[in-house]
Amino acid sequence: MKKTKAPITTLSPKQTATNETVRARKNEARILFFGAVIDMTWQMAVVVLVPILGGFELDKVFHTSPVLIIVGFILAMVGTYMVIKHALDVYNERTVSMPKEGK
């Protein structure tokens, strides 16, 4: 059996509280990130699929081969930009400040 050494220093109550605060803030940031990802996922799906599929169906109706699909693609690109910009604006306001870890 090997002898193990005790820790050289123990954390003071202040350092322990700081470490717990850091862990709590990291969890808060993680939850905020996953919420943003889930929110953006359905928005991106709608913004991309609706114009492209709509252009495809309208092309079949009007017999205008790829014209309306291309218009739908351009609308999807503009919509994607708007969704990303909106998400950045919203989530930059809700940032989590991370305190520095105590040594």
Domain map (residue ranges) of the chain: 13-93
Angstrom distances, CA of residue 53 to CA of 8, 42, 49, 61, 96: 65, 16, 6, 13, 38
> Residue 73's pLDDT band (boundaries 50, 70, 90)?
very high
Candidates 99, 93, 102; CA nearest to 24 is 99
pLDDT on residue 25: 85
Candidates 64, 67, 65, 63; CA nearest to 75 is 67
Per-chain mean pLDDT for the chain: 85
> Residue 18's pLDDT band (boundaries 50, 70, 90)?
confident
Candidates 98, 97, 89; CA nearest to 36 is 89
Note the Cα 2 to chain centre separation in Å: 47
| Higher-scoring residue by pLDDT: 93, 80 | 80
